[in-house]
Amino acid sequence: MSDPFYTQAIAQIRELLDAARAAGDPEPTAMTLATADAHGRLSARIVLLKTLDESGFAFFTNYDSAKAAQLDAHRNAALCLHWKTLRDGVQVRAEGVVEKTSVAESDAYFATRARASQIGAWASLQSQTLGDRAQLDARIAHYEREFDGKPVPRPPHWGGYRLVPDMIELWFGQRARLHDRERYERADDGAWTKRLLYP
């Protein structure tokens, strides 16, 4: 995706993300991810943006989770980042198709995680019913023993997703709620356009 409008949008978001970090935002990579299940029921939750480049917005999770089942049912998804620390507030929205990251990319990111988080990825049966906390603690203890003294490999059920956008909107808060909105969209031929929206 080397379209100049798309390149401009991604570069602008990266600059805003860096500015949010510099401004002391407590969780600058937190983004709302919205998905739908096989019946069209919508769900939203916060995930962490781990990479952002012209290939899209990447995050990582358990492939057996509820969100993963929804993404298997509907590859279309939407995300939103919001930074109150910037200007009068800045929001980034993106919509598009979600695909799994490569095995190599998932392995590379997993290797950077804290060991406790790596163990947790093995121990958690994410989104399944948990009888009590003791069950989870027992699973954590089991995998701590299993991987004692050696690197923790990435579980086969854990990895990344990337939202490949076909729409990006940047929202800049202004006084009297007369906000600035820039909308980037990809046409069927792959070309991107940019237009302003009324607040």
How far is the C-alpha of 144 from the C-alpha of 135, rounded, in Å? Answer: 14
**36 strand-pairing partners:** 42
- Residue 147 — very low, low, confident or very high, per pLDDT cuts 50/70/90? very high
- Residue 2 — very low, low, confident or very high, per pLDDT cuts 50/70/90? confident
29, two tokens:
């990579």
pLDDT score, position 87: 86
Q: Please report, for residues 53, 75, 81, 93, 182, the alpha-carbon distance to residue 13 in angstroms, rounded to integers and kept in the order given.
A: 10, 23, 10, 10, 12
Q: Is residue 134 one of the residues assigned to a domain?
A: no
- Give the helix/strand (H/E) hosting 150: none
Q: Is residue 141 one of the residues assigned to a domain?
A: no
Q: Mean of the pLDDT values across residues 13-36?
A: 97
Nearest to 144 by CA among 123, 126, 162, 125: 123
DSSP class per residue in 54-117: TTEEEEEEETTSHHHHHHHH--EEEEEEEETTSTT-EEEEEEEEEEEPPHHHHHHHHHHS-HHH
Residue 120 has pLDDT above 60, yes or no: yes
Average pLDDT, the chain: 97
Tell me the CB-side half-sphere exposure of residue 198, using CA atoms within 13 A: 0
Domain of residue 175, residue span: 4-111+157-197
pLDDT score, position 26: 95
pLDDT above 90 coverage of the chain, percent: 96
Q: Is residue 152 one of the residues assigned to a domain?
A: no
Q: Is residue 81 one of the residues assigned to a domain?
A: yes
Q: Provide the 10 A C-beta neighbour count for residue 140.
A: 16
How many domains is the chain partitioned into structurally? 1
Residue 1 has pLDDT above 60, yes or no: no
Q: Is residue 130 one of the residues assigned to a domain?
A: no
Q: Mean of the pLDDT values across residues 51-69?
A: 97
pLDDT in tens, 153-165: 999 999 999 999 9
Q: Is residue 123 one of the residues assigned to a domain?
A: no
CATH of the domain at 67: 2.30.110.10
pLDDT score, position 178: 87
Nearest to 35 by CA among 84, 91, 75: 75
Q: Mean of the pLDDT values across residues 28-33?
A: 98
Q: Is residue 125 one of the residues assigned to a domain?
A: no
Q: Is residue 25 one of the residues assigned to a domain?
A: yes
pTM of the model: 0.94
Q: Mean of the pLDDT values across residues 66-76?
A: 97
pLDDT score, position 140: 98
